[in-house]
Amino acid sequence: MVVFFDIDGTIVDEATQIIPQSTAQAVRALRCNGHLPVINTGRPYGHIDPRVRAMDFAGWICGCGMQVILNDRMIYQDYPDAACCRKVADLAAQCGMLILAEGEEELFYDSSVTYTAAPAMEAERMRQKGFRIRDLRECPDVRFIKFVTHDAPECDRERFAAGVSDLFDGIDRGGSMMEFVKKGNSKARGMEILLKELQIPKDQTFAIGDSTNDLPMFALAGTTICMGSGMDALKAQADYITDSVLDHGIFNALRHFRLI
């Protein structure tokens, strides 16, 4: 079996940033039992928590399918060009959107606006983990892989979304957050690329997640598992609902399906 894992809210607890020891044990046990654990995340590979990169994963689908890595080999990548990135940054400023743009190993933001709690917290978490935080205003030739936005007071979300709709697909993450992925890519598309490389049918796959950006992954996987603290929209599409991250949800789910 190939088991696809989201990261935030699935491997890592969102509130505490804790990775339970039982989760690392479960991933190791999967490998020992001949299964392939694969990360499937919205984060670019360079943005993944070093603790997760140190775990026993066999492959990595990153940036919502914009990067696919198998056995340390990049088998697919699809990034926006520099002109596209500049257009996004400029339009975000014009529409008053709070943007966090994700480069290879850096995070870009706009210093001219005051960020609300959620994006400010994410930037600080990345800084504490050793990632470089850069100002879009100081990077005229900015290049990033994907980006998220949060609403600011009096922003024009509809104008911004419409302005980038020819280049990016938007994912409503709930509340004020939107995630944007270059058109033609998704967590499901990344899975298709990796499964074709491995010559493994989709009915021999599991997907574990917690958020609406996991819906494409759930639509493709043979068996789907939602974390106990996951979003209701994802729970409605799940074959099984496990416990929360800190209540050993990953370990318990894999044990339930006798994968470990």
**What CA dihedral angle connects 53, 55, 61 and 67, to 10 degrees?**
30
Give this prediction's pTM. 0.88
Whole-angstrom Cα distance, residue 145 to residue 113? 22
- 232 burial class (0-12, 13-18, 19+ CB within 10 angstroms)? exposed
Going residue by residue through the chain (260 aa), what tens digit of pLDDT does each one get? 999 999 999 999 999 999 999 999 999 999 999 999 999 999 999 999 999 999 999 999 999 999 999 988 999 999 999 999 999 999 999 999 999 999 988 999 998 888 999 899 989 988 988 889 999 988 888 999 999 999 999 999 999 999 999 999 998 888 899 999 999 999 999 999 999 999 999 999 999 999 988 999 999 999 999 999 999 999 999 999 999 999 999 999 999 999 99
